Structure 1
Amino acid sequence: MRGQPRILINTPEIELWRGGLLRARSNFDARALARARHVLRRKRDGQYLAVDLPEGLLALVPHLRREPGLDAALDAIDAPPSHLRAGIEHVRELPLDRLEERLHALGLDGEYGERTGLELVAEPDWLAFAGFDRYRRPLWLHVEAARAWSHLHDAALRDGIVLEAISGYRSHDYQLGIFERKLARGLGVEEILTVNAAPGYSEHHSGLALDIGAPDEPPAEESFEGTAAFAWLRDNAEGFGFVMSYPRDNPHGIVYEPWHWRYQSG
């Protein structure tokens, strides 16, 4: 993988980050991350599990070998997707069966999709580095969306408009973790669904959607509609392949989100 663009290799339960992109959480982490070729990061809670060093794998958690999904992650280190090795930018989707099992456990079978008109969204097997978001976190997007976002951002700058990425790709496990933590606090599923999309139904899972903000504006607030940044997006975003997914009175019953834009190829 040396010499290739920075990418996130995605397996069902573990992400493989290139070294140098994650923030150290301790002195031990800092020393390990500084030398890492890859970092194995649990998707559910962001825990750093191990680093791939030139001399071998260094565990960062006890009982690493018991970690669910470890074998698939190690296979991805040893043999990254053939289309990446060949320099081809084709993106494949991860299977949905594991997600469907967990949705069933939450009582969210097909009824939620039927009620909202939303479909389950698969995760890509790899994502492209698209710079950093407002909070200096790495921004991961589908490779086509990453390229389009770069063009969109630069065109806005030429017109004197600053667009800030708030968030891009989010995993199924990340969204499931939100649900599990709120359930543990005693909230019911329907109550959680009033403020959080059901896991698997967010466009962010695809890497094709991102939330956009403007300097000095709070993130993901309807007030973004009144900014020069939004006015520019309204007039220009479609020319770069981006559309606003959830306008007012959208058929999915999702609140108006002027900050949420999705790239659609072709």
Structure 2
Amino acid sequence: MRVFSPLLINTPDIELWPGGLLRARGNHDARALSRARHVLRRKRDGRYLAADLPEGVLPLVHRLFHEPGIDAALDALDHAGLRHHRLLHVGVDRVGTLPLARLCERLDALGIDDDYGQRSGLALVAEPDWLAFAGVDRYRRPLWLHVDAARGWTHLRAAALRDGVVLEAISGYRSHDYQLGIFERKFARGLTLEEILNVNAAPGYSEHHSGLALDIGAPGEPPAEESFEQTPAFAWLQSNAGGHGFVMSYPRDNPHGIVYEPWHWRWQPAR
């Protein structure tokens, strides 16, 4: 079994990023990040909270130990070495999921109740407690996926390249907080909840939360546009993606009421 390294270790409020993958936002951060084994990053806004240095945890914000979720993040940090050891020496580590209680409270505040799931046929999706590094996306950002989807994406992209087709990842895993941020920004632009739900799955209902889905593009093509279906990349995916475990989630007239998304593909384990 191929092991993907490094890993993103996930907690409800804070992500633990491996050192070397995040860009510094100032001289102080640059010095800390250059030596960090892990960086604690707040999920709701991407703020760097602390650097895990060989000599201990260095706070990058005032009152670090009052941050929501910091205890869970530090507990995960304590166990990070054990997780890496299991993956490196045993080759396996179970992917668990994070609790949904915090998300449900925030959905209530948005006015999204259980009826949304029943109407759309979509289920709440828990976030994995760790994700594998699957290279970088079109924008040179780290691409995080469930370890099985990461392996599948690597094989899918390599197979396409052998046939002369270049596939680009546009995005992979997205946290609940990321999806909530989309809604907040669109509310600020004056859109209604109904208008947003016509285009975006409600926070917690997106397949991206699982790390099993990714948006795929082709060089020179705009991201996440229906025009992707006219590309050789899409034609290749239609013929070959299924053999690598990927399916298109939202074809035309899909039962979930989500707009046609020829760019959105999900890794589906063999049954």
Q: TM-score, normalising length from structure 1?
A: 0.95
Cα offset for 1:79? 1.9
3-state SS, counterpart of residue 131 of structure 1: strand
Report the Cα distance in structure 2 between the residues aligned to 1:4 and 1:156, rounded to whole angstroms: 21
1:227 and 2:231 are equivalent in the alignment = yes
Please state how far the C-alpha of 1:159 moved relative to its aligned partner. 0.4
Indicate the residue corresponding to 1:253 in structure 2. 257
**Partner Cα distance (1:28, 1:195) in 2:** 40
Instruction: For residues 124-180 of structure 1, give each alpha carbon's deviation from its aligned partner in whole angstroms, at most 9, with x where no partner exists.
Output: 000000000000000000000000100000000000000000000000011112223
Whole-Å Cα distance in 1 between the matches of residues 4 and 55 of structure 2? Answer: 21
* Alignment of 1:98 onto 2:90: no
Tell me which residue corresponds to 1:196.
200
Aligned partners of 2:45 and 2:201: how far apart in 1? Answer: 18
* Contact 1:83–1:90 (8 Å) recurs in 2: no
Q: One-letter code of the match for 1:12?
A: P
Give unmatched runs, 5+ long, in structure 1: none
SS at match of 2:80: coil
Partner of 1:40: 40
Question: C-alpha separation between the residues in 1 aligned to 2:233 and 2:184?
Answer: 35
Q: CA deviation at 1:89?
A: 2.9
Paired residue type of 2:232: A
Contact preservation (8 Å) 2:134, 2:150 = yes
Work out the CA distance in 1 between the residues paired with 2:133 and 2:180. 24
Q: 2 CA distance for matches of 1:68 and 1:81?
A: 23
CA drift of 1:84 comes to: 5.2
Aligned to 1:123: 127
What amino acid maps onto 1:42 in structure 2? Answer: R
SS at the partner of 1:95?
Answer: coil
Structure-2 change in CA distance of 1:82 and 1:112 (3 Å)? farther
- CA displacement at 1:85 relative to structure 2: 4.2
Q: Please give the per-residue CA displacement for 1:198-239, whole angstroms capped at 9, x wherever unaligned.
A: 100000000000000000000000000000000000000000
Closer, same or farther: CA 208–81 of 1 in aligned 2, 3 Å: farther
Equivalents in 2 of 1:124, 1:29: separation in Å? 28
- In the aligned structure 1, how far is the partner of 2:75 from the partner of 2:83? 15
Quick one: which amino acid aligns to residue 51 of structure 1?
Answer: A
- The alignment of Structure 1 onto Structure 2 pairs a total of residues equal to 264
Q: Which residue of 1 aligns with 2:147?
A: 143
Deviates more, 1:159-168 or 1:80-89: 80-89
Whole-Å separation in 1 of the counterparts to 2:81 and 2:267: 24
Match of 2:75? 75
Does residue 217 of structure 1 match 2:203?
no
Distance in 2 of aligned mates of 1:4 and 1:162: 22
Aligned to 1:51: 51
SS at match of 1:79: helix
- SS of residue in 2 equivalent to 1:219: coil
Q: Which moved more, 1:122-131 or 1:20-29?
A: 20-29
| Structure 1 residue 193, shift from structure 2 partner | 1.8
Find the aligned partners of 2:189 and 2:164 in 1 and give their Cα distance: 45
* Alignment partners' CA distance in 1, 2:81 and 2:70: 16
The yes-or-no answer on 1:65 pairing with 2:69 is no
TM-superposed deviation, 1:184: 4.2
Using the alignment, how far apart are the partners of 1:4 and 1:213 within structure 2?
A: 23
Per the TM alignment, residue 26 of structure 1 is displaced from its structure 2 partner at its CA by: 1.4
Q: Residue 39 of structure 1: SS of its match in structure 2? A: strand
CA contact 1:89–1:143 (8 Å) conserved in 2: no
Matched residue type, 2:63: H
Q: Which amino acid aligns with 1:146?
A: A
Q: Does 1:172 align with 2:176?
A: yes
* Letter of the structure 1 residue corresponding to residue 30 of structure 2: A
Residue matched to 2:30: 30
Task: Give identity over the alignment, percent.
Answer: 76
User: SS in structure 1 opposite 2:257?
Assistant: coil
In structure 2, runs of 5+ residues without a counterpart are none
